[in-house]
Amino acid sequence: MADIEAATADYAARARAENTRRAYRADWVHFAAWCARYGASPLPADPRLVARYLSAHAGPGPEQLKVSTLRRRLSAIQHVHREAGLDFDSRQRDLRDVWSGIRRTHGTQPAAKAPTVTEELRALLEPLGTERLLDLRDRALLLVGFAGCYRRSELVALDVAHLARHRDGLVIATPRSKTDQEGEGIEKGIPFGVHAETCPVSALTRWLEAAGIADGPVFREVTRHGRVQPRRLSDRAVALVVKRSVEAARRVALQRGQWGLAETFDPRRYAGHSLRAGFITSAAAAGVPTHDIMRQSDHKREETLRRYIRHATVFRQNAAAKVGL
């Protein structure tokens, strides 16, 4: 029975993704430390105390947090109370009104990273060489990440065993994704590219062959001396690859006197999500039907795509361009 109880507790703990559990732990530590500063009890927490905590970190100042972060902090507080078997009334009037006021005042729209559309992706690939293992890996990562519309965690989780050759390209089995928490698996087709320099299948094949990777993780660390490590990349490394490539493309644009393009390539505006956002934006701009985009992006709701599609069609379907100005 002791083993069964331990297994039951373990499965219950796995109800949330590890990233969520890690974030909740950090959120609770932050809230508990704030409570200790003022001699208040974090558990159980008075909803009015939580309202003051949110207010303290919503306004301008060194401790200001984004609304999205505060939302997660509130969820973490509720989660810890629930795990401790304690009631926490998030609908208590003071807390409800303060939270509503924070969202109305500071907004809830996240600061989205710039999408890496097809034309920009070509510019990111141009500075990459054809011999260095690091360049081969980055080229494959950028192209597969874009063509597969992968989330960072999905991209670095790929193993060689997930790849299957097809006459039209590659079929990649994604073992688990954000929208497939049960682990049923999703297959994505990565077609051959029209242009040799931007073909994701060729780029991935060359990386694996040059690195001598026959099994295990697809995308791995490469030392500054060009040695491939057995460890897979972390999801944060995807953002670093994107930012490094953006900075290289910016240098090339400056050398050519392309000032406008150089200004666009600001590494602070780009992150790992830029590849996924760029694919959706490029596909929408090309007139690809929404259901086909969703099949590749693995979105379950069409509403989620709307902000990408609005960005892609802001000039293509612009009424101001049709009134004769």
**Which residues are part of the catalytic machinery?**
151, 178, 273, 276, 299, 308
| Helix/strand number for the chain, H first, E second | 14, 5
Cα 145 to Cα 172: distance, rounded to the nearest angstrom: 12
**212, burial (CB in 10 Å: exposed 0-12, middle 13-18, buried 19+):** exposed
Give the single-character DSSP code of 270. -
- C-alpha 71/C-alpha 217 separation (Å) is 34
Helical H segments across 41-92, by residue range? 47-56, 67-83
CB 276 within 8 A of CB 174: no
Nearest to 297 by CA among 34, 98, 306: 306
What are the C-alpha distances in Å from 11 to residues 14, 17, 126, 157?
5, 12, 47, 22
Please report where in the chains the tokens 């141009």 appear, as a residue: 126
Whether residue 249 contacts residue 124, with contact meaning beta carbons closer than 8 Å, is answered with: yes
**Rounded CA separation 217/41 (Å):** 46
Task: Determine which helix (DSSP H) or strand (DSSP E) holds 36, and give its type and residue range.
Answer: helix 18-37
- Nearest alpha carbon to residue 121 among 312, 278, 324: 278
Find all residues with CB under 8 Å of 134, minimum gap 6, and list them.
Answer: 222, 226
Query: Is there a contact between 45 and 89 (Cβ–Cβ < 8 Å)?
Result: no
The CA distance from 145 to 121, in Å, is 11
